Structure 1
Amino acid sequence: MIERLVVFGGTGDLTARFLLPALAALRAGGHLGERLSLTGASREDWSTGRYREWAADQLDRHGGDCPAEAMAWVGASARYLRADVSDPADVAAVVAGDGPVAVYLALPPALFPAAVAALHRAGLPPGSRIVLEKPFGEDLAGAQELNRLLADLLPEQAVFRVDHFLAMATVQNVLGSRLANRVLEPIWNSTHIAGIDIVWDETLALEGRAGYYDTVGALKDMIQNHLLQLLCLVAMEPPITLGERDLRDRKVDVLRSVRPLTENDVLHRTRRARYLPGRIGDRAVPAYADEQGVDPGRRTETFAEVELELNSWRWSGTRFRLRSGKALGADRKEVAVRFRPVPHLPFGHGGEAAPNVLRFELEPEGLALDLTGIGTRAHELAPLSLTARMDPAELPAYGRLLLDVLTGDPALSIRGDEAEQAWRVLEPVLSAWERDLVPLEEYPAGSDGPAPRFP
């Protein structure tokens, strides 16, 4: 296990809300030894003492029910160095030390190329690893160039392009439900499944993230990475093992099988929108264009929907709909598998049977199955729902990812060719949207989003 962790962007929101609590959870679970050291690096002119005070405050705010001893240990093990991530001399001073180091780039994606180039010039000890957050690149060409820079720095197995969705317990349960239950896998195909909706709708609005979000939008922020990753797990062929090669090969197969979108497809199978003023619960929400830090001229979308088809034996004829929106009236975060109706109902005038739907609920984590049964009157059909709540995972998603980084297991990270294929899928959408071929619709904050357009 690597015993040195360096976080560039060590004073940022990602470190405060996720990485520090993840380290505390790892410590509490007995996964970290006494020798692990944490170095935070950023532009702030702080001392190590100031950094430890800040880390303790952030752990108090975001550490949840993690034991106080574990949170205190994280703070005490940290040190701080002021550094410009694009300066090879600064970077070399931060990563200097005995033995390999895990370098976490908790930075805006636009800084990745400069940071990787500085690390290359500074040099990393043998056995080191690097971690990058999504989105990986800004388009296909950017992802390819970043892959070239990374290949000059470290071997592919030492590069961790992380997506915390892959470490969520319910996401992992998609594979568990499919591959460990005979009742599901034989019907996991287009013969029985009409469509699969992969949805991340949230009541949260911009929440002060204009500096990042207004340059990215819903398509790049959610669909290009998180939701395409869920598509891979839902649609992949059963791997031989869950080792990094077998699992990632099957995920790449899914992305390669996505039917290329023509310009006409983009016009009829994608949509974008942004929110107008409205109310979400008891709070008033301004229009996105009026949020602080937003440039209305960018026409950034806060809602994106894309319908895809796969060119594969298993999935020909099944529709996959990926959707994400902000400032909506209700949170809906799920993978909904919609089965085809039965061919015949022998119940006379007892009503209609709604299609069965299997829902993997992502937040809060759970599982639900919508069925049809007999109601209180004989031969009268009525909806029936079976639900299950999952026990909390031992580790939070970022705890699982950090443990994989430190122990060297890249199975849940995104391989370079996979990152490029994800951009290939959406390149036609990005191009058409940039040329305003698809209208930018609007919806009131607190609503269900733009009116349904797809059948």
Structure 2
Amino acid sequence: MIERLVLFGATGDLTARYLLPALAALHEAGQLGAAVRLTGVSREDMDSADYRAWIAEQLERHGGTYPATAREAVVAMADYRRTDVTDPAAVADAVAGEGPVAVYLALPPALFPGVVTALHAARLPTGSRIVLEKPFGENLAGARELNRILGELLPENAVFRVDHFLAMTTVQNILGSRLANRVLEPLWNGVHIDEVEIVWEETLALEGRAGYYDHVGALKDMIQNHLLQLLCLVAMEPPITLGERDLRDRKVDVLRSVRPLTEDDVVRRTRRARYLPGRIGDRDIPAYADEDGVDPGRGTETFAEIRLQLDSWRWAGTTFRLCTGKALAAERKEVAVRFRPVPHLPFRHAGDVLPNVLRFGLEPEGLTLDLTGTGARPQELAPLSLTAHMEPPAVPAYGRLLLDVLTGDAALSIRGDEAEESWRVVEPVLAAWQSGLVPLEEYPAGSAGPA
């Protein structure tokens, strides 16, 4: 296990909300070595004592469910370096030390190329690793250039392009349900499955994130990475093992099989929209275009939908619907596998029988199978649902990812060619949207989305 973790962007929101609580969780679970040290790197004017006080405050706010002993251990392992990440000499000084180091870039993606180049000049010790948060580049060309720079720094298995969705319990349960249950795998194909919906709809509005979100939008923020990763797990062929090579090879196969979208396809199979003023619960929500920091002329979408088809033997005839939206009436975060209807119903009082749906709940986590059972009268049918509630994991998703980084397990990280293929899928959509081929629809905040 690597014992030096250097965290660039050490005073940011990602660090406060997710990385520090993840370290506390790992300590509480006994999975963090006693010798592990954390070096925070940021431009903030503070020393190590100030930084430890800041960590304690953030853990109280975002990690208060963990015991005080675990939170205190994270505080004790930390020190701080005030550093300008655009200064190569300062970056080299921040990572200097004995033994391999894990360098986590909790930074805006625009800074990645410069920091990675500076790390290359710093000559990281053998066995070091680097961690990057999505998005990996701003487009296909940017992803290729970033991969080139990373390849000059470290071997591919030492580069961790992390997506915390892959470490969520229910996402992992997709693999378990598919690959460990004989009753499902024979049905897991286009002969039996009509549509797969991969949905992340939330009541959350912009919430002060205009500086990031208005330059990205729903398609880049969610579909290009998180939802395409879920598509890979649902649609991939069974891997030989769940090791980094076998698992990631099969995921890349899925992305390569996505049928390229023509301009006509984009017009027919995609939608984009943004929210108008409305009300969610007891909150009055202003229009997205009126939010502080938003440039209305940019036409950034807060709702995006894309319907894909895979050119593969297994999935011929199945539609994959990826959808995400903000400021909606209700939370819906799930993967819904919709089976085709049975060819014949011999029941006298069948009525409207809905097809079977297997739902993997992402947030909250759970598993539901919608079936049809018997009703109150003879030969009458009625809906029946079987639900399994998932036990909350001892270690959150970011804890799992941090542990993988420190121990060197790259199976859940995104390989360079996978990042490029993800951009290949969405680039025709981005180009068509930017040229105005698909209108920017509108929907009231607190509604079900565009009509």
Bin for the TM-score computed over the shorter chain: over 0.9
Match of 2:380 in 1: 380
- Distance apart, 1:249 and its partner CA: 0.2
Match of 1:333 in 2: 333
Local SS of the residue matching 1:132 = strand
Match of 1:296 in 2: 296
Pairing of 1:322-401 with structure 2 (within 5 A)? 322-401=322-401
Match of 1:199 in 2: 199
Deviation per CA, 1:345-399: give whole Å up to 9, x if none.
Answer: 0012431210100000000100001111111122221111111100111210000
Match of 1:219 in 2: 219
Pairing of 1:256-271 with structure 2 (within 5 A)? 256-271=256-271
Deviation per CA, 1:81-136: give whole Å up to 9, x if none.
Answer: 11111211110111011000000000111111111111112221111000000111
Match of 1:320 in 2: 320
- CA distance in 1: counterparts of 2:438 and 2:111, whole angstroms: 30
- CA distance in 2: counterparts of 1:95 and 1:349, whole angstroms: 71
Could you state the TM-score of these two structures normalised by the residue count of structure 1? 0.98
Match of 1:101 in 2: 101
- Distance apart, 1:171 and its partner CA: 0.1
Local SS of the residue matching 1:315 = coil
- CA distance in 1: counterparts of 2:401 and 2:118, whole angstroms: 24
Match of 2:151 in 1: 151
CA RMSD between the two structures: 0.7
- Distance apart, 1:194 and its partner CA: 0.1
Give the letter for the 2:32 counterpart.
L
Local SS of the residue matching 1:200 = strand
- Distance apart, 1:64 and its partner CA: 3.8
Local SS of the residue matching 2:206 = coil
Could you tell me which runs of 5 or more consecutive residues in structure 1 were left unpaired when the two chains were aligned: none
- CA distance in 1: counterparts of 2:268 and 2:255, whole angstroms: 21
Is the deviation greater in 344-353 or in 357-366? 344-353
> Which 4+ residue blocks in structure 1 deviate beyond 3 angstroms?
none
Match of 2:442 in 1: 442
- CA distance in 1: counterparts of 2:436 and 2:99, whole angstroms: 51
Match of 1:241 in 2: 241
Give the letter for the 1:327 counterpart.
A
Match of 1:186 in 2: 186
- CA distance in 1: counterparts of 2:444 and 2:210, whole angstroms: 19
- CA distance in 1: counterparts of 2:244 and 2:229, whole angstroms: 15
Match of 2:168 in 1: 168
Q: Structure 1 residue 58 and structure 2 residue 58: aligned?
A: yes
Contact kept? 2:38, 2:77, Cα under 8 Å: yes
Give the letter for the 2:371 counterpart.
L
Could you tell me which runs of 5 or more consecutive residues in structure 2 were left unpaired when the two chains were aligned: none
Match of 1:133 in 2: 133
- CA distance in 1: counterparts of 2:327 and 2:104, whole angstroms: 31
Could you state the TM-score of these two structures normalised by the residue count of structure 2? 0.99
Q: Percent identity?
A: 77
Is the deviation greater in 261-270 or in 371-380? 371-380
- CA distance in 1: counterparts of 2:279 and 2:383, whole angstroms: 32
Local SS of the residue matching 1:6 = strand
Give the letter for the 1:231 counterpart.
L
Give the letter for the 1:319 counterpart.
T
Local SS of the residue matching 1:27 = helix
Give the letter for the 1:403 counterpart.
L
- CA distance in 2: counterparts of 1:150 and 1:350, whole angstroms: 60
Match of 2:31 in 1: 31
Match of 1:3 in 2: 3
- CA distance in 1: counterparts of 2:349 and 2:378, whole angstroms: 11
- CA distance in 2: counterparts of 1:66 and 1:181, whole angstroms: 35
Contact kept? 2:46, 2:82, Cα under 8 Å: yes
